[in-house]
């Protein structure tokens, strides 16, 4: 998953990564973070949870969330909230 501004085409990666034990823990990380709108969970030797704001803190513009996987990546992505509800600066 990545974030993309539909108007300018600018893309951003996740705004943070957290190590978790299970996919449900990843969803909870997002629920506990008002700046998170979506997550990608990737299980490797440890679970990697990437959180996305759906918002560009630099420009103050909303970002869409786009999911695209290469064949080598085994991950699960989910939209947790349908709108940005975090702070306007970070």
Q: How high is the mean pLDDT of the chain?
A: 82
Question: Closest Cα to residue 64, out of 83, 80, 42, 51?
Answer: 83
Residue range 13-28: average pLDDT?
Answer: 90
Model confidence over 23-59: pLDDT tens digits?
A: 899 999 999 998 898 998 988 778 899 999 988 888 8
Question: Closest Cα to residue 21, out of 50, 46, 45?
Answer: 46
pLDDT at 77: 82
Residue range 58-75: average pLDDT?
Answer: 76
pLDDT category of residue 70 using cuts at 50, 70 and 90:
low
């Amino acid at each position: 998953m990545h974030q993309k501004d539909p108007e300018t085409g600018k893309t951003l990666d996740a705004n943070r990564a957290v190590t978790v034990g299970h996919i449900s823990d990843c969803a909870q990380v997002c629920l506990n973070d008002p700046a998170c709108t979506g997550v990608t969970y990737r299980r490797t030797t440890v679970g990697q949870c990437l959180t996305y704001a759906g918002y560009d803190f630099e420009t103050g513009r909303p970002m869409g969330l786009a999911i695209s996987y290469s064949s080598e990546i085994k991950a699960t992505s989910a939209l947790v909230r349908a709108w940005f509800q975090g702070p306007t600066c970070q």
